[in-house]
Amino acid sequence: MEESTVTFRQLAASSKLFARRLLTIGENRLALLAVEVQEGRERLLHACLLALGVAAFGLLASLTLTAAIVVWLWASHPVAVLLTLTALYGGVGIYLYWRFIKLLREWQTLSASLEQLRKDRAGLEKILV
Could you report the per-residue pLDDT of 94-112, keeping only the tens digit for each?
998 899 898 888 877 777 7
CB contact at 8 A, 96 and 19: no
Strands (E), 41-98: none
* Amino acid, res. 80: A
- Cα-based distances in Å from 91 to 48, 100, 105, 114: 23, 14, 21, 38
Span 41-90, pLDDT tens digits: 898 899 899 989 999 998 999 899 889 988 998 899 888 988 988 899 89
List the chain domain ranges. Answer: 2-128
pLDDT above 70 for 127? yes
CA separation for the pair 78, 63 (Å, rounded): 17
Measured from the Cβ of residue 110, the count of other Cβ atoms closer than 10 Å reads 14
The predicted pLDDT at position 4 comes to 58
Closest among 36, 38, 47, 45 to 108, alpha carbons compared:
36
Name the pTM for this structure: 0.49
